[in-house]
């Protein structure tokens, strides 16, 4: 899809906005949907004149499906996904060594594969729903100057050389691992000293040749490690880590690409190689994710090796975390210091997944895999390794209270509301929600109303599946207070006590909702 003009406007882009988004990959497009939905005036710029017609990201988890659901794109997103069975590590002879699944309760497949061009087209169409959002392709941010109440940014059209200026109350940089905005701010990185290069191969199949597993398979080897997966519809993906200092041009030659794919035992008679490129991966976290009124998200803030499919997912989680906080700050119902909790919450979560990705990378490309091979012959260890359920780690400390389950994502279930089936996330909306197993007293109801907190009693009729009641019951708690991003702020046995605690943290909270 060639794009060089501004969307959603017949006039020049605005010169003053609430939010300027720099970078329109999937994370930037998702952010445009988020703040467009809330009614804020958004300008989003992208230096490329068109979105790439080849995939980069390919995997996501159910939390990302919930994120897309939150901007009203669930019906458009689900047909674009192919659920899969998780991560499979195998030996060179095909012996199963490890099988890991994500364990979540939210009504969707725990993990899925997608075709990125179609995914981005869906997000682009979503952003175009909002008249307050302007999307401009072919423009690069060139200068940035922070002031007390706004950020001034100059951006230039890369073909014509035309330069424009915009004043934004806040700037969100989603412009990737080589972020221009981050460079203008001079933010330094923290490297985990883990990097490498892989050859990524995308293909279309025209027959019914299948892979041995329906998940993401990684063959462990020191001579020919590789990743392969059957993507959405007829899309197939291989990735081959290549030796340090190898000639990338040699590996990208069509004959070399076909030879590597054939070495995996896959016939190419009905397969068309459509894209092959070498790319460098690293493990990096930036030292600052916020500098004044400028925030970094996605690869601009952190970069992970690709081995557990969490690159794009991390960026979506960043935006979900920022969404309600920036909304409250923009409306003046929370102080700017609320934004300080963004990095303190997100960085520990990302670091955990980054360490898992590094471990998986080492496990299937170095002799470390031999430990898994030995363990696969010990029955008790084999059983454990083939039935790993990976729970998403809690967020770091920040805008949270205490109690069992605090700082974790609350599950989702289908509720029965006036004879209608509705997802619980959609029923909660963008409110702070106090969930209780029993009806509160009048004083608690009044206090919740004063604090703009919605009370929901989780009766058996409302929660017919019992998923949400069971979450509370297994933790022996009576009440849970949810933030607008569906993370658990605090839990306990007394609704009144939770509301009093929230009132004492009023500067954190703000009010939520759409404008």
DSSP SS3 for 7: coil
pLDDT of residue 212: 78
Q: pTM for the full model?
A: 0.94
* Beta bridge partners of residue 140, listed in sequence order: 156
Q: So what's the pLDDT on residue 405?
A: 95
Structural tokens at position 278: 């070498």
Three-class SS state of 298? helix
What's the pLDDT score for residue 514?
Answer: 42
Farthest CA pair distance, the chain: 75
Nearest by Cα to 177 from 292, 296, 293, 294 = 296
Could you give the CA distance from residue 365 to residue 225 in angstroms, rounded to a whole number?
6
The architecture CATH gives domain 414-509: 3-Layer(aba) Sandwich (3.40)
Please report the pLDDT score of residue 101 as a whole number.
Answer: 87
* Residue 454: Cβ within 10 Å count: 15
**Residuewise pLDDT in 10s, the chain (515 residues):** 333 344 544 467 899 999 999 999 999 999 999 999 999 999 999 999 988 889 999 999 999 999 999 999 999 999 999 999 999 999 999 999 999 987 677 889 999 999 999 999 999 999 999 999 999 999 999 999 999 999 999 999 999 999 999 999 999 999 999 999 999 999 999 999 999 999 999 999 987 777 878 899 999 999 999 999 999 999 999 999 999 889 999 999 999 999 999 999 888 888 999 999 999 999 999 999 999 999 999 999 999 999 999 999 999 999 999 999 999 999 999 999 999 999 999 999 999 999 999 999 999 999 999 999 999 999 999 999 999 988 889 999 999 999 999 999 999 999 999 989 999 999 999 989 999 999 999 999 999 998 889 999 999 999 999 999 999 999 999 999 999 999 999 999 999 889 988 887 765 544 444 44
First to last CA, the chain: 32
**Angstrom distances, CA of residue 59 to CA of 304, 351, 453:** 14, 19, 35
Query: Which DSSP string corresponds to 407-446?
Result: TSBPP--EEEETTEEEEHHHHHTTSEEEEESSPPPHHHHH
pLDDT for 2: 35
What is the DSSP track for 435-490? EESSPPPHHHHHHHHHTTEEEEE--TTTSTT-HHHHHHHHTT-SEEEE-TTSBEEE
Q: Which helix (H) or strand (E) holds 218?
A: strand 216-219
């Amino acid at each position: 899809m060639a794009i060089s003009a501004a969307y959603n406007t017949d006039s020049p882009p605005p010169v003053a906005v609430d939010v300027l988004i720099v970078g329109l990959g999937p994370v930037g497009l998702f952010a445009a949907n988020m703040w467009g939905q809330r009614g804020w005036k958004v300008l989003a710029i992208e230096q490329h004149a068109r979105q790439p017609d080849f995939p980069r990201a390919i995997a996501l988890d159910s939390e990302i499906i919930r994120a897309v659901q939150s901007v009203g794109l669930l019906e458009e997103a689900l047909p674009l996904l192919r659920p899969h069975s998780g991560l499979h590590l195998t030996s060179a002879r095909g012996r199963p060594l490890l099988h890991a699944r994500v364990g979540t309760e939210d009504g969707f497949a725990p993990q899925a594969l997608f075709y990125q061009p179609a995914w981005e087209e869906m997000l682009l169409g979503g952003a175009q729903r909002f008249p307050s959002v302007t999307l401009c392709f072919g423009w690069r941010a060139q200068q940035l100057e922070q002031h007390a109440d706004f950020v001034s940014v100059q951006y230039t059209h890369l073909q014509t050389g035309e330069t424009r200026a915009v004043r934004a109350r806040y700037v969100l940089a989603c412009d990737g691992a080589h972020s221009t905005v981050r460079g203008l701010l001079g933010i330094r990185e923290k490297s985990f000293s883990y990097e490498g290069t892989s050859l990524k191969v995308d293909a279309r199949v025209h027959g019914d040749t299948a892979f041995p597993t329906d998940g993401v398979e990684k063959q462990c080897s020191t001579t020919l490690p590789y990743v392969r997966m059957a993507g959405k519809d007829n899309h197939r993906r291989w990735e081959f880590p290549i030796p340090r200092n190898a000639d990338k041009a040699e590996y990208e030659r069509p004959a070399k690409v076909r030879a590597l794919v054939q070495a995996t035992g896959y016939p190419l008679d009905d397969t068309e190689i459509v894209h092959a490129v070498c790319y460098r991966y690293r493990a990096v976290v930036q030292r600052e994710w916020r500098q004044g009124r400028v925030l970094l998200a996605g690869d601009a803030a952190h970069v992970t090796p690709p081995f557990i499919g969490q690159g794009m997912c991390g960026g979506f989680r960043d935006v979900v975390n920022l969404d309600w906080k920036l909304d409250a700050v923009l409306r003046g119902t929370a102080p700017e210091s609320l934004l300080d909790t963004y990095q303190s919450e997100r960085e520990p979560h990302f670091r955990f997944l980054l360490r898992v990705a590094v471990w998986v990378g080492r496990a299937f490309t170095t002799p470390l895999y031999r430990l898994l091979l030995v363990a696969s012959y010990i029955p008790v260890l084999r059983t454990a390794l083939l039935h790993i359920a990976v729970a998403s780690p809690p967020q770091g400390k920040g805008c949270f209270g205490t109690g069992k389950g605090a700082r974790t994502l609350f599950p989702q279930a289908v509720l029965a509301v006036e004879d209608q089936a509705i997802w619980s996330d959609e029923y909660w909306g963008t409110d702070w929600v106090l969930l209780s197993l029993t009806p509160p007293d009048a004083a608690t109801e009044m206090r919740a109303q004063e604090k703009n907190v919605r009370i929901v009693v989780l009766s058996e009729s409302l929660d017919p599946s019992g998923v949400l009641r069971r979450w509370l019951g297994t933790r022996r708690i009576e009440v849970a207070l949810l933030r607008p991003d569906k993370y658990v702020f605090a839990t306990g046995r007394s609704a009144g006590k939770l509301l009093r605690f929230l009132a004492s943290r009023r500067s954190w909270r703000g009010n939520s909702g759409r404008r």
